[in-house]
Structure 1
Amino acid sequence: MKTASENLTCTSKELFFLLHDLKDGKPAGDCRIDDTLANQKLKETLQQDKFDITANLLNRMDTSPSRVDFLPLHRLITEEEVEDVIEAVKDVLPTGQFTSGSYIGVFKAEIAALLRKNHVMASSSGTDAMIIALKAAGVGQGDEVIMPANSFAATENAVLAAGGTPVFCDIDPDTFCMEPSEIEACITMKTKCILPVHLYGKRPDMEAIAQIADEFGIPVIEDACQSIGVSNLGKNSLCAILSFNPYKNLGTCGKAGAIVTDNPSFASACMEYMYHGFELNQKNKKKADYGFNAKIDNLQAAIGLARMKYLSLNNLKRLYLADRYMTHLQQYEDRGLIKLPQMTDDQVWHLFTIKIINGNRDQVKDMMLKFHHVQTDIYYPILSHHQNTPLVKANYQHTSLPVTESVHKQMLQLPLYPALTVEEQDKVMEALIDVVS
């Protein structure tokens, strides 16, 4: 925690220590929180009279649930958030400014304040943001980009759309993120960029990755689409990419994303690619040969602002739910039945991923649903170099990633989202324990 005279920005490291303070019974009202929009609802919650960590952070049910769904879409946005979004839409609709408009600048400013970044370019999706960042970093036809193979297809698709060639790097078995010690073996004369992924909300070892990149003079772009709110985002890279897909920790009501950076010339290049190659602050005057129609819509920016004020509160809820999983399941890891993720301060818990050590992962998944009506998931069921596509057949038939492949057979995602109730989480744990035991 910071000293009493300093305010908390409430990124992942500070939320980590805040949760431990609250669990130790320290008064919530003593916490000094930055006045950024992302912290608004967290501040209001902590200032409630007779604050109780479980009662005020987590949801409860009157009866035991008969079923637990993995990610019920109708519960990813609360009634209070719905009302805020409706008000935002009502503000925008009469203006006719659905694409360009004033909310875009405010949205970018709030993201910059949250992440302490100098430049934010808000885009039409996380994928578009990544394509643009790769192009602005100089990736072109035949250039190689080092990346993991256990991410969502958008990561490799962005590389391919920029003209690049994915080169798959093995991962750390505990973090599921790119293993820095494997990077150097992937570097060739064609390597143009290193693209680590913040998988499931976990920050990779960016310091180690940046050290290797600096030695070879290769830029790093962080795919941080699942980790808004993580501490030191973009500190050790050229830029970081965000996604505001509705499933993310901060979502709009459609597709949106962003590039965040401290490099002004890179930011300018990104803005040119983002909007038709036009020169900045000039109407329809092209500077680049071409560009995309990939700026965020004013309507989505307004919705993003309406939802942003819940971000730090929701990230703290995710952290607390992850902490409950860790506490109650630790003895089963000690018995060698499962492997839990690491409880660290560089994680925003977009997903909670365990490894099944005792038994077949697919059977555990099926039995939890069949006998306990608890739905789990294998979020990315097929690795990039195992996809059944002409590109894979032509270029990746002999690619071997032993750690990635081994871990992939064990990984299982348990339900974790801000509206998950204590009773539902308890049912998930009871089901898992029954099946793996």
Structure 2
Amino acid sequence: MTAGPASPASPASPASPPSPTAQRFTGDSAGIHRLVLDLRRGEIPAHVSTQALANRTLAGLLDVRSPRLLPSTSDSVFAPEAPPAGPGRPAVPFLPRERLLTPDEQRTAVACFARALASGELTSGPAVARFEHGLGEFLGLPHAVATSSGTDALVIALLAVGVGRGDEVIMPANSFAATENAVFACGALPVLVDVDPERHTLDPTLIEAAVTPRTRAVLPVHLYGRLADAAGVYRVAREHGLPVVEDACQAIGVAGVGRYADATVLSFNPYKNFGLTGKAGAVLTGDSALHARMEGLAYHGFAPGEKNVKAGLWGLNAKIDNSTATVATGLLPGLTLNNYRRAFLAHRYIEALAELGTAGQLHLPAFTDDHAWHLFPVRVPGGEADRDSLRVRLRESGIETDVYYPVLTHQHRTPLHEKLFGDVVLPRTEKLNATVFHLPLHNGLSVTEQDRVIEALHAAVHATTR
């Protein structure tokens, strides 16, 4: 029997008396994980929230134990039913650009930009420091440098820890091109290491064999929003005296981010969990000396706090604009609410598709507390042809899916890639990449749209396995 979509839990009464043992809510993935499980059981427990700006919207709903946290209310925090699809458009698009920000977020962004425009503080100004403080407060890291993109943040972090021409940086092959491009931009070479088959992230047990006298850093990626084995990577790196720069561009808010790294890189591309109105990023650290180097590298080599006075030989023009930082500060209170929406919907997918997982017809991710659910990956048990056939059936049903990174670093067909990586074989990474695809999951996904995805996926899997 085909399982139908998971039913939303019934809301608890907002008038319930507060618990004498209220849970502390920090807004990280562990707290959101616990909150989702409570809510799916029909409970809205009392919480004591931290004052981090990034928690403000979700904390306000928790403080009054609002039933709006569930999708069954008319004024729910989840997106309402999407408008009907136009001619030639899927019924459920994978990531509709016109819905990257909610109507409320769009109004906030317009008002914030208007203030920056009226003040004339477009490139530099006070919003940059405010945004950096808000990020550091949320992540528990004292030093932040907000940048013009996540790619720039990666380059700055790698340069600051000493990566230069002719060096090697150990990293996985299944990431966005920005990860490898940042290494190349430093004049260094990526050394590709296979991944853990369950996490899809850098396997710490394989790092040591890749270390050479030219290795200068290790660059793990928290892929799809799932934390890599950060502690394991850090331990091996330290045994060899290597710094760790973590690519957390898809993992803002994940518990453990920043704990086992010298520098932590984030992205605020509009498609991210916390997306802005253009490209932006940040790099954070607990090391004040490293922070000073990153500040100089981000802006022409100037000494922090001194106008046009160089403390280093050179630097990039890669600081975030004040106008973008103004928008970022205005949107920051909704960060954990967006992460909550994604986690709730991810849990709903996992429950509703559990029958397919149990039958071995689909490999589902586990609902773990170390995930930001930037993407929702599923894998077919066969090979690339089976995956592509299933995706075609879903597309015929009006469901748009994606293979987010279709070409691995060592499989790009440029002359340089073929020269550097022609003999590289990464069996786990290659198998995962041939069988994975991604279901729609974004801040604006409605529950009704998700139900359509679930129903279509059940039908498509059963049709392909008859």
Unmatched 5+ residue regions in structure 1?
none
Q: Which residue of 1 aligns with 2:61?
A: 45
User: 1 CA distance for matches of 2:325 and 2:68?
Assistant: 33
Q: Which residue of 2 aligns with 1:362?
A: 388
Q: Which residue of 2 aligns with 1:36?
A: 52
**1:349-428 residue pairs with structure 2 within 5 A?**
349-358=373-382, 360-370=386-396, 372-428=397-453
Judged with a 3 Å threshold, the aligned counterparts in structure 2 of structure 1 residues 216 and 37 are, in CA distance, closer, same or farther, namely same
User: 2 CA distance for matches of 1:357 and 1:50?
Assistant: 39
Q: Secondary structure of 1:338's match?
A: coil
Residue 195, structure 1, aligned to residue 219, structure 2: yes
Which of the numbers 38, 46, 57 marks the counterpart of 1:21?
Answer: 38
Contact 1:120–1:258 (Cα < 8 Å) also in 2: yes
User: 2 CA distance for matches of 1:267 and 1:76?
Assistant: 32
Contact 1:143–1:165 (Cα < 8 Å) also in 2: yes
TM-score under structure 2 length normalisation: 0.90
Residue 59, structure 1, aligned to residue 79, structure 2: yes
Contact 1:336–1:358 (Cα < 8 Å) also in 2: no
Q: Which residue of 2 aligns with 1:343?
A: 367
Contact 1:99–1:299 (Cα < 8 Å) also in 2: yes
Q: Which residue of 1 aligns with 2:237?
A: 213
Which of the numbers 96, 104, 124 marks the counterpart of 2:128?
Answer: 104
Superposed displacement of residue 61, structure 1: 2.9
Superposed displacement of residue 242, structure 1: 0.4
User: 2 CA distance for matches of 1:315 and 1:50?
Assistant: 18
CA RMSD of aligned residues (A): 1.8
Residue 167, structure 1, aligned to residue 191, structure 2: yes
Q: Secondary structure of 1:35's match?
A: coil
Q: Which residue of 1 aligns with 2:27?
A: 10
Contact 2:382–2:435 (Cα < 8 Å) also in 1: no
Contact 1:175–1:342 (Cα < 8 Å) also in 2: no
User: 2 CA distance for matches of 1:64 and 1:73?
Assistant: 15
**1:247-286 residue pairs with structure 2 within 5 A?**
247-286=271-310
Q: Secondary structure of 2:71's match?
A: helix
Superposed displacement of residue 157, structure 1: 0.2
User: 1 CA distance for matches of 2:423 and 2:442?
Assistant: 38
Residue 316, structure 1, aligned to residue 340, structure 2: yes
User: 1 CA distance for matches of 2:379 and 2:23?
Assistant: 39
For residues 33-74 of structure 1, give each alpha carbon's deviation from its aligned partner in whole angstroms, at most 9, with x where no partner exists: 222221122123332655562323433439998710000011
Q: Which moved more, 1:41-50 or 1:62-71?
A: 62-71
Judged with a 3 Å threshold, the aligned counterparts in structure 2 of structure 1 residues 62 and 339 are, in CA distance, closer, same or farther, namely closer
Unmatched 5+ residue regions in structure 2?
1-18
Q: Secondary structure of 2:144's match?
A: strand
For residues 348-371 of structure 1, give each alpha carbon's deviation from its aligned partner in whole angstroms, at most 9, with x where no partner exists: 00000010115611111112102x
TM-score under structure 1 length normalisation: 0.96
Contact 2:44–2:65 (Cα < 8 Å) also in 1: no
User: 2 CA distance for matches of 1:329 and 1:132?
Assistant: 42
Contact 1:4–1:32 (Cα < 8 Å) also in 2: no
Partner amino acid for 1:236? Answer: Y
Judged with a 3 Å threshold, the aligned counterparts in structure 2 of structure 1 residues 95 and 64 are, in CA distance, closer, same or farther, namely closer
Q: Secondary structure of 1:32's match?
A: strand
For residues 374-407 of structure 1, give each alpha carbon's deviation from its aligned partner in whole angstroms, at most 9, with x where no partner exists: 0000001101100011111111111000000111
Q: Secondary structure of 1:428's match?
A: helix
Judged with a 3 Å threshold, the aligned counterparts in structure 2 of structure 1 residues 52 and 384 are, in CA distance, closer, same or farther, namely closer
Contact 1:338–1:358 (Cα < 8 Å) also in 2: no
